[in-house]
Structure 1
């Protein structure tokens, strides 16, 4: 392969879609020549899609109608001032208007004057087979010419790079729109590529009715028509007002499905890995279709005028009119065909999301191992500090790691440093020898006053205890370095943590970062795997206390803990009460209501709804009591809070109203029977403490909660029967007045 330092890619075919089609070839060239400077000459606005691309160093715009002039200016003789300015490789997908001649002249002058050979590819569409996609043809020819290497070729996608700022801005603009979010692009640059507007309206209404979809219609050339379509669809349908192409792309990236004719927007959506249904009429899906798993729907299959190898030779292309009775062969595509394709996409998405939350998928990346010297040092530690300075639930989720530490270091002293709230977990964690409560300034959300003496006191405390190692557990959004710095100042010689930042001296063993989406339990365990500790059991486990206090409880009860410290995670307490009351009526079991004393002020309406079904233990329990109560309950109703993690550890079935603040796969129960209820919204995950959208993600009816609870109880009953218990009783967990198979 030649030594290539400067690459020019000429993409002047004129369409936004043409830029996207060329992207895999541009990326393959950049990856094949990682030290080369890559320049792309193209038109606006398509070039906007390339401006944040880390593989493209320069985008130069040609004025509309001035393709040849633009290439002449770029390759003018005055640019040949020295070999350092010369291109080594020029690739063009454009050969009209004498552009090929301009490139060849440049190559000739570069060689004759500077003895600098320039490789030029001026026809990326040589002798194409009938059903080879255009983008694939580009890659095939470049590979045959030995200008790209096979290992970097990706024929399945064309990546468009969006910044996090762009994605966040669109997320804020969309707000809490319900998912699935479906974009219907009703516009097309040519009338013969326009799917009938009335078909789009039928599809939009059906998607709302059957899937609860939010339908977005991007503003097209005719704003009045866009408004009319939105009004005709009704419901949650909305207009996406025209802005920059990058803003439009960022909106598409947030979508769950895009339906459009064979136009640039369809290609942008597919390049952003958004499931796309592309409707083809005069153009041929075998040439211009999206790669799997995107869906291409072809109209006019039997058209006698069709020229498969080049649709620009068809009579309709230059006239813009279909020579037959209909306006366009896209009329051959019925709304029913499109809805069937949409069903195939939308019905598989929840399954894909569910699969992504399974524990084994969180372990898809092999955890690297520290150096042999470091591993050997960790095997001999005698006094270890374990830092998890968050809330109760976060500390509970370290239990598999704490258990593994005790198994690997049976004679080592283990001290858990936790927040004052987290320190309450001590009786539940039998693997810990001591708990050190401390409120640290870097995780206090600004409530602690500025006090350097307090920080020096922490350093002195850690120094005096003479720890020989520190393990710093953090979530995906936290840095281990503040804690690592404190430990370094305290003279702790071994310091282990997972770091997204470039490693500094704060950590002696920095674990390479894992994907944000992995479960927190596995994030914790990765630290121990890095130092070659064995992991036998990945389940949450707690030491379950006995119910030694006299709560006057029946043998069977439901447990409702409807509170969190975060407003944006709180399901409506009255709805929780209505659901619990219905479950109590159906099962015959009372509902134990738990919470802290500070929750009592807001508990009156809830307790009133529950009436005689309530057993009020608000403010009457310790954390150990709560664990025992959950362990002995038949079913737990709660939010995304520590109660959810306790139920997972005690194997108690739970219905969790899981707000859109977090990603489910990071925190959800994994080894207990559970149902997580949430209405998917575009704003999720927001990580916000308060919700500006009236908690639309938790707009769940009490009847839905009841159905989930009865479903779990049914599962629990069947599991008991499967173990050979309770055979005499057809359904031992359901009150006799309730049918054994309750379906909603």
Structure 2
């Protein structure tokens, strides 16, 4: 059985499909993961994945260019070469699997399953429909429900949590350390940089070693947050190296962005600075100890806004550094386990 798994959006989106991928892999001889450019490296880390294909879908990316017939034809040809027996298309609730299903049908894939609110005609063999409370599941469970509708089950002993292939925590970082990851994929999900910087100072004063992480485009931000007190790893890590740093941490402070799910995948407790532009019930860190901070009833709730639509960014700006420090202590204690007062 050759299985094609499709998830065409971001790193976190790919990571939350991990349990479903493992279920499909349990009944497959070979699993190929078709990912978008933002999710490719995450797909390469998923257990059960044998091969990764990468393609940028103009019906998925946030800032798409025009549809290029030659690019679509190229994808069709690549899929046809794989001679897959089945494909399962994973999407978020606001995405349609049908454009992708059409390309896969044209490539000769004989059996396709997906969640779809729209009538699929002959494009899907399994149209898994989730409505009402059933469509308000954590994303890993939503994806796993599709895999089960397609006849797949997790292997015995698999707990259904997020996971990646084993990574090695770095030996050069002093323990215990806390990771601050101030960057986000959308400004609406960002906690103010000055709050991260103050949190870094407070944690250092309590005796924690602090490590600040971020991508190559976030070096100014990580340097500002670290402020010479913390170890600044901004722009220095690939995804596997970042996973190792997160795996070795006592806790991670991060917004609703891909590294939150990466932390969950390596089993590290998360202080989640969660803007309610998407529902926390679906997208909060899954399967690990966590503390959720942020006003989940704020006016931006459910808007999926990339830029905050409310002056002052109240859902997150009102969260104070002392609350974050308190959450870190609640999750992992103090560095020397002695009692101290968080003011």
| Deviation string, structure 1 residues 402-460 (Cα, Å, up to 9, x no partner) | 11122233xx1100000122111244213111000111111123432342111111112
Following superposition, the deviation at residue 607 of structure 1 comes to 2.6
- SS of equivalent to 1:470: strand
Q: In structure 2, which of residues 324, 335, 343 is the aligned counterpart of residue 734 of structure 1?
A: 335
Q: 1:460 to 1:619 in 2, by over 3 A?
A: same
| Structure 1 Cα separation of the partners of residues 268 and 84 of structure 2 | 38
Cα contact 1:475–1:523 (8 A) shared by 2: no
Q: In structure 2, which of residues 39, 47, 61 is the aligned counterpart of residue 430 of structure 1?
A: 47
Matched residue, 1:665:
281
Matched residue, 1:686:
303
Matched residue, 2:189:
569
1:332-371 correspondence runs (5 A): none
| Structure 2 Cα separation of the partners of residues 497 and 419 of structure 1 | 17
Matched residue, 1:677:
293
Aligned: 1:707 with 2:329: no
Cα contact 2:59–2:99 (8 A) shared by 1: yes
- SS of equivalent to 2:128: strand
1:23-34 correspondence runs (5 A): none
Q: 1:487 to 1:427 in 2, by over 3 A?
A: closer
Matched residue, 1:697:
315
Q: In structure 2, which of residues 82, 87, 90 is the aligned counterpart of residue 470 of structure 1?
A: 87
| Deviation string, structure 1 residues 287-329 (Cα, Å, up to 9, x no partner) | xxxxxxxxxxxxxxxxxxxxxxxxxxxxxxxxxxxxxxxxxxx
Cα contact 1:392–1:425 (8 A) shared by 2: yes
| Structure 2 Cα separation of the partners of residues 447 and 503 of structure 1 | 24
Q: In structure 1, which of residues 632, 650, 655 is the aligned counterpart of residue 271 of structure 2?
A: 655
Matched residue, 1:407:
26
Matched residue, 1:445:
62
| Structure 2 Cα separation of the partners of residues 445 and 672 of structure 1 | 29
Cα contact 2:23–2:153 (8 A) shared by 1: yes
Gaps of 5+ in 2: none
Aligned: 1:589 with 2:208: yes
Following superposition, the deviation at residue 708 of structure 1 comes to 1.3
| Structure 2 Cα separation of the partners of residues 577 and 561 of structure 1 | 11
| Structure 1 Cα separation of the partners of residues 79 and 88 of structure 2 | 13
- SS of equivalent to 1:443: coil
Q: In structure 2, which of residues 167, 170, 175 is the aligned counterpart of residue 545 of structure 1?
A: 167
Q: In structure 2, which of residues 14, 24, 39 is the aligned counterpart of residue 395 of structure 1?
A: 14
Q: In structure 1, which of residues 626, 646, 651 is the aligned counterpart of residue 242 of structure 2?
A: 626
Cα contact 1:544–1:627 (8 A) shared by 2: no
Following superposition, the deviation at residue 601 of structure 1 comes to 2.8
Aligned-pair RMSD on alpha carbons? 1.8
1:4-153 correspondence runs (5 A): none
| Deviation string, structure 1 residues 451-506 (Cα, Å, up to 9, x no partner) | 21111111122112221211001111111111111111111000000111123111
Following superposition, the deviation at residue 686 of structure 1 comes to 1.2
Following superposition, the deviation at residue 677 of structure 1 comes to 0.3
- SS of equivalent to 2:302: coil
Q: 1:683 to 1:429 in 2, by over 3 A?
A: closer
- SS of equivalent to 1:684: coil
**Aligned residues, how many?**
335
Q: 1:615 to 1:604 in 2, by over 3 A?
A: closer
Cα contact 1:388–1:394 (8 A) shared by 2: yes
Matched residue, 2:253:
637
Q: 1:580 to 1:743 in 2, by over 3 A?
A: closer
Matched residue, 1:231:
none
TM-score of the two chains, using structure 1 as the length reference: 0.44
The structure with more helix, counted as a fraction of residues: 1
Matched residue, 2:180:
560
Matched residue, 2:120:
503
Q: In structure 1, which of residues 489, 493, 500 is the aligned counterpart of residue 106 of structure 2?
A: 489
Matched residue, 1:579:
199
| Structure 2 Cα separation of the partners of residues 418 and 387 of structure 1 | 6
Cα contact 1:400–1:540 (8 A) shared by 2: yes
- SS of equivalent to 2:135: coil
| Structure 2 Cα separation of the partners of residues 496 and 532 of structure 1 | 10
Q: Which has the larger radius of gyration?
A: 1
| Deviation string, structure 1 residues 355-374 (Cα, Å, up to 9, x no partner) | xxxxxxxxxxxxxxxxxxxx
Cα contact 1:558–1:584 (8 A) shared by 2: no
| Deviation string, structure 1 residues 234-283 (Cα, Å, up to 9, x no partner) | xxxxxxxxxxxxxxxxxxxxxxxxxxxxxxxxxxxxxxxxxxxxxxxxxx
| Structure 2 Cα separation of the partners of residues 539 and 526 of structure 1 | 14
Aligned: 1:461 with 2:78: yes
| Structure 2 Cα separation of the partners of residues 446 and 734 of structure 1 | 44
Cα contact 2:183–2:214 (8 A) shared by 1: yes
| Structure 1 Cα separation of the partners of residues 54 and 150 of structure 2 | 26
Cα contact 1:659–1:678 (8 A) shared by 2: yes
Cα contact 1:463–1:491 (8 A) shared by 2: yes
Gaps of 5+ in 1: 1-381, 715-732
Q: 1:532 to 1:430 in 2, by over 3 A?
A: closer
Cα contact 2:264–2:286 (8 A) shared by 1: yes
